[in-house]
Structure 1
Amino acid sequence: MALDYFAPGVYVEEVDRGSRPIEGVSLSVAGFIGFTEDVRGDAELFQPMMITNWDQYREFFAKPGSDGFTDYDAYLPFAVQGWFLNGGGRCWVTSIGTQLPGSAAPDPEEAGTLLPTFSGRPSLKFSLKLPEDSGDAPALPSGDARIQVAIFESTPKPVDDDEEPPLNSGEFFTVVVRQGEEQLEMYEHLTMNPDVDTAVADYVVTALEESEFVAVANLSQSGQALSRRPANGAFEITPPPQISTPERFPRDLQGQRDDRTGMQGIFEIDEVAMIACPDLMRAYQNGLLDLDQVHGVMEMMVSLCENSFPGPAYRMAVLDPPPVKIGKNDNTAVPPEQQRPQHVAQWLNEFNRRSMFGAIYYPWIKVANPRNGGRPIMVPPCGHMMGIWCRTDESRGVFKAPANDTPRGVIGLAYETNMREQELLNPKGINCIRNFANYNRGFKVWGARTLVEPDNVQWRYISVRRLISYIEKSIEIGTQWVVFEPNDQDLWARITRTVSNFLERLWREGALFGASPSEAFYVKCDGELNTNETIMLGRLYVEVGVCPVRPAEFVIFRISQWAPNQ
Structure 2
Amino acid sequence: MPTHTTYPGVYVEELPSSIRSITTVTTSVTAFVGHTRRGPLNEPVRITSFADFERRFGGLTSRSPVSYAVHQFFGNGGAVAVIVRVAKAGSGTEAQVTLESTEGRSQCPVLTVHAKEPGVWGDGLRLAVDHDTPCPDETFNLQVLDAHGTARESFTGLSMDPGSGRFVETVVNAGSSLIRGAAVGEGRPDPSGTVSKPFHHELPDLTVELTVKIGEVEREFTLYDPDCDGEPPCDVTELALLLEHKLRSLPDAPGKHAFAGAQVISFGRRIQVVGGSTDPGDVVRFLGECANDLGLEASVNPPVFPLCGGEDGDPPGPRDLIGSEARKSGLQALRDIPDVNLLALPELASYASVDDQLTVVSAAQRLCQERRMFLLVDAPAAWGSVDAARAGIGAFDAVRDNHAALYFPHLQLTDPLTGRLRSFPPSGALAGVIARTDGERGVWKAPAGTEARLAGVHGLTVKLTDRENGLLNPLGINCLRTFPMVGPLVWGARTLQGSDALDSEWKYVPVRRLALHVEESLLRGLQWVVFEPNNEQLWQQIRLNASAYLHTLFEKGAFQGGTPRQAYFVKCDKDTTTEADVENGIVNVVVGIAPVKPAEFVIVKIQQLAGQFDL
Q: TM-score when scaled to structure 2? A: 0.69
Partner of 1:486: 533
From 67, 72, 82, give the equivalent of 2:72.
Answer: 82
Contact 2:75 2:455 in 1 (8 A): yes
Contact 1:190 1:203 in 2 (8 A): no
Paired residue secondary structure (2:343): strand
From 377, 382, 404, give the equivalent of 1:358.
Answer: 404
Tell me if 1:94 matches 2:68.
Answer: no
Partner of 1:383: 428
Count the aligned residue pairs.
475
Question: Shift of the alpha carbon at 1:266?
Answer: 2.1
Q: Residue 238 and residue 563 in structure 1: after superposition, are their counterparts in 2 closer, same or farther (change >3 A)? A: farther
Question: Shift of the alpha carbon at 1:85?
Answer: 0.5
Contact 2:274 2:284 in 1 (8 A): no
CA–CA distance in structure 1, aligned partners of residues 298 and 454 of structure 2: 53
Partner of 2:367: 304
Partner of 1:207: 301
Q: Residue 429 and residue 202 in structure 1: after superposition, are their counterparts in 2 closer, same or farther (change >3 A)? A: farther
Contact 1:450 1:460 in 2 (8 A): yes
Tell me if 1:254 matches 2:254.
Answer: no
Q: Residue 368 and residue 525 in structure 1: after superposition, are their counterparts in 2 closer, same or farther (change >3 A)? A: same
Partner of 2:165: none
Paired residue secondary structure (1:407): coil
Partner of 2:123: 112
Partner of 1:60: 56
Contact 2:41 2:84 in 1 (8 A): yes
Deviation sequence 1:395-428 (CA, Å, 0-9, x none): 0101100001111121111111111111111111
From 190, 193, 197, give the equivalent of 2:274.
Answer: 190
CA–CA distance in structure 2, aligned partners of residues 253 and 122 of structure 1: 32
Question: Shift of the alpha carbon at 1:456?
Answer: 3.2
Contact 1:431 1:449 in 2 (8 A): yes
Contact 2:38 2:121 in 1 (8 A): no
Tell me if 1:147 matches 2:194.
Answer: no
CA–CA distance in structure 2, aligned partners of residues 243 and 35 of structure 1: 8
Contact 1:154 1:172 in 2 (8 A): no
CA–CA distance in structure 2, aligned partners of residues 417 and 429 of structure 1: 16
Q: Which amino acid aligns with 1:357?
A: H
Q: Residue 30 and residue 561 in structure 1: after superposition, are their counterparts in 2 closer, same or farther (change >3 A)? A: same
Contact 1:31 1:272 in 2 (8 A): yes
Q: Which amino acid aligns with 2:367?
A: L
Partner of 1:241: 311
Paired residue secondary structure (2:472): helix
Contact 2:193 2:284 in 1 (8 A): no
CA–CA distance in structure 2, aligned partners of residues 457 and 195 of structure 1: 79
Q: Which amino acid aligns with 1:305?
A: C
Q: Residue 533 and residue 87 in structure 1: after superposition, are their counterparts in 2 closer, same or farther (change >3 A)? A: same
Give unmatched runs, 5+ long, in structure 1. 63-67, 127-139, 176-185, 217-236, 309-313, 325-335
Deviation sequence 1:365-397 (CA, Å, 0-9, x none): 01111222x101111000100111110110010
From 330, 334, 347, give the equivalent of 1:279.
Answer: 347
Question: Shift of the alpha carbon at 1:202?
Answer: 6.8
Q: Which amino acid aligns with 2:203?
A: D
CA–CA distance in structure 2, aligned partners of residues 444 and 535 of structure 1: 53
CA–CA distance in structure 1, aligned partners of residues 569 and 121 of structure 2: 67
Partner of 1:410: 457
Tell me if 1:24 matches 2:24.
Answer: yes
Q: Which amino acid aligns with 1:516?
A: T
Q: Which amino acid aligns with 2:417?
A: R
Deviation sequence 1:4-28 (CA, Å, 0-9, x none): 8687665544444542221111021
Q: Residue 121 and residue 203 in structure 1: after superposition, are their counterparts in 2 closer, same or farther (change >3 A)? A: farther
Q: Residue 301 and residue 202 in structure 1: after superposition, are their counterparts in 2 closer, same or farther (change >3 A)? A: farther
Partner of 1:50: 46
Q: Which amino acid aligns with 1:370?
A: P
Q: Residue 539 and residue 100 in structure 1: after superposition, are their counterparts in 2 closer, same or farther (change >3 A)? A: closer
Tell me if 1:295 matches 2:295.
Answer: no
CA–CA distance in structure 2, aligned partners of residues 547 and 473 of structure 1: 17
Contact 1:318 1:360 in 2 (8 A): yes
Deviation sequence 1:212-241 (CA, Å, 0-9, x none): xx855xxxxxxxxxxxxxxxxxxxx57512
Q: Residue 156 and residue 350 in structure 1: after superposition, are their counterparts in 2 closer, same or farther (change >3 A)? A: closer
Paired residue secondary structure (1:459): coil
Question: Shift of the alpha carbon at 1:122?
Answer: 7.5
CA–CA distance in structure 2, aligned partners of residues 252 and 412 of structure 1: 32
CA–CA distance in structure 1, aligned partners of residues 297 and 410 of structure 2: 55
CA–CA distance in structure 1, aligned partners of residues 357 and 179 of structure 2: 37
Tell me if 1:162 matches 2:162.
Answer: no
Larger Rg: 2
Partner of 2:101: none
Q: Residue 279 and residue 238 in structure 1: after superposition, are their counterparts in 2 closer, same or farther (change >3 A)? A: farther
Partner of 1:323: 381
Q: Which amino acid aligns with 2:374?
A: M
Q: Which amino acid aligns with 1:519?
A: Q
Partner of 2:160: none
CA RMSD, 1 decimal: 3.9
Paired residue secondary structure (2:489): strand
Partner of 1:37: 37
CA–CA distance in structure 1, aligned partners of residues 298 and 604 of structure 2: 81
Question: Shift of the alpha carbon at 1:466?
Answer: 0.7
Give unmatched runs, 5+ long, in structure 2. 96-118, 128-144, 152-167, 182-190, 207-238, 249-260, 276-281
Contact 1:114 1:124 in 2 (8 A): no
